[in-house]
Amino acid sequence: MKKILITGGAGFIGSHVVRLFVNKYPDYQIYNLDKLTYAGNLENLKDIESRSNYTFIRGDIVDGEFIQALFKRHQFDGVIHLAAESHVDRSISNPMEFIYTNIVGTVNLLNAAREIWNEIYSNKRFYHISTDEVYGSLGDSGFFTESTPYDPHSPYSASKASSDHLVRAYHDTFGMPTVISNCSNNYGPFQFPEKLLPLFIHNIRNNRPLPVYGKGLNIRDWLYVEDHARAIDLIYHDGKLGNTYNIGGNNEWKNIDLITKLCEIMDNKLGRQKGESAKLITYVKDRAGHDLRYAIDSSKLQRALGWEPSLVFEEGLEKTVDWYLANQEWLDNVTSGEYQKYYTAQYAER
């Protein structure tokens, strides 16, 4: 039985990856290692938690001794590494957590894998999940390809860029069997409501202001989270070692257009008059170092592994809104307690 360690499996994307692997590969033993920070939530995995091929381990990837002991005990065959501090705004107010988890945590995992695999790499694989933000910001035209030079602007993206470099360095220097993917903005169920879409769905439902940074002209490329999980499955199994794969939705939206679309859907779902939710739009102080545009060229992945996004965006957005409205208890649970302090501090001066 193959033993696969998935880190950050209680988070947004990680929970979709864990669910996919547990369901699709009954002959794999899936270990989900997660610290359960504010962003980690075992409720995200309720439907698979009692499956015999699934084990949850609570732990911190920054704790090198713990990670070494864990790898020695379980002798993992593969690692899919998603654990990270992931929110740009939090990296601006508190960069150090990003340095520890995203950089030191990644190196701890690389070191532990290197030690147990001891240069015998057949059927072993270390897959590092990264972001398009490492490439920086685009102007009006062009796309990020796998050879676009790195140019990160936030402590978050700089920490992810650093971890990508280290993963590549372990491949080139020690021959480690690594692969990396860089994905665009994900959306879908179980995303923590500090990120644009779940935050705005939550605020619209509660008639709270929608804080649009700057003029709302920044552009993001949106991909449904299950399509990302499918790409991760393909790359984990068939991606070429030492390679990088870009993953994107080919689906660019200016923030204000996306928010207007979301308001229309919410008016409809909540039985409000057309235009009512859009009245909540409030322009606030811009994010520092705010990247203007991200757009991914994922043709390498499409060509090499036959992947493509499965959902039309409008369909995915509506499905996502339906999920949050049907799971208000999940949203209410994660927005109680500490969340209130975060929200007040983050949006106070805006």
Q: Of these residues, 60, 77, 85, 132, which one is catalytic?
A: 132
Partner from ligand DAU, ligand NAD, none binding residue 192, C-beta < 5-8 Å depending on class: ligand NAD
Among 62, 79, 197, 210, binds ligand NAD (CB under 6 A): 62
Burial letters for 123-149: b for 16+ Cβ neighbours within 10 Å, e otherwise?
ebbbbbbbbbbbbbbbeeeebbebebe
Residue nearest to ligand DAU (CB): 131
212 is in the binding site of which of ligand NAD, ligand DAU, none (Cβ under 5 to 8 A by kind)? ligand DAU
Q: How far apart are CA 316 and CA 248, in angstroms?
A: 14
Task: Please name every residue paired with 7 in a beta bridge, in sequence order, or none if there are none.
Answer: 33, 81
Residue 154 is a binding residue for ligand NAD (CB under 6 A): no
Length of the chain: 350
Residue 82's binding partner among ligand NAD, ligand DAU, none (Cβ under 5 to 8 angstroms by kind) is ligand NAD
Planar angle of CA 193, 258, 156, nearest 5 degrees = 50
Tell me how far CA of residue 117 lies from CA of 1, 51, 235, 342, in angstroms: 17, 28, 21, 41
Q: What type of residue sits at position 219?
A: I
The Cα–Cα gap between 81 and 33 comes to 10
Contact stretch for ligand NAD (CB under 6 A) within 37-45, 202-210, 292-300, 334-342: 37-45
Nearest to 108 by CA among 143, 137, 71: 71
Interface with ligand NAD, residue 34, by CB under 6 A: yes
Interface residue with ligand NAD among 4, 5, 6, 11 (CB under 6 A) is 11
Where in 295-334 is the site for ligand NAD (CB under 6 A)? none
Among 19, 35, 90, 202, binds ligand NAD (CB under 6 A): 35
> How many residues form the binding site for ligand NAD (CB under 6 A)?
30
Query: Quick check: is 245 catalytic?
Result: no
Question: Taking the complex as a whole, how short is the minimal distance between the CB of residue 86 and ligand NAD, in angstroms?
Answer: 4
Q: Is 160 in the site for ligand NAD (CB under 6 A)?
A: yes
Binding positions for ligand DAU, rule: CB under 6 A? 86-88, 131-133, 184-185, 195-196, 199, 211-213, 218, 220, 255, 287, 294
Cβ at position 216, least distance to ligand DAU in Å: 6
- Inter-residue contact 193 to 202 (CB < 8 Å): yes
89 CB-contact burial (10 Å; exposed 0-12 / middle 13-18 / buried 19+): middle
Which ranges constitute the DSSP H helices of 45-154?
64-74, 88-93, 95-98, 105-117
Instruction: Give the whole-angstrom CA distance, residue 208 versus residue 4.
Output: 42
In the set 77, 85, 133, 226, the catalytic residue is 133
Which of 32, 86, 106, 277: binder of ligand NAD (CB under 6 A)?
Answer: 86
Pairing type for strands 125-131 and 78-81 reads parallel
- Tell me if residue 224 is catalytic: no
Least gap, CB of 73 to ligand NAD (angstroms): 17
Please give the torsion angle defined by the CA atoms of residues 18, 232, 221 and 158, in that order, rounded to the nearest 10 degrees.
Answer: 90
Q: Which of 156, 170, 213, 236 is catalytic?
A: 156
Active site residue 133: yes
Residues at the interface with ligand NAD (CB under 6 A): 7-8, 10-14, 34-37, 39-40, 60-62, 82-86, 101, 105, 129, 131, 160, 183, 185-186, 192
* Active site residue ranges: 132-133, 156
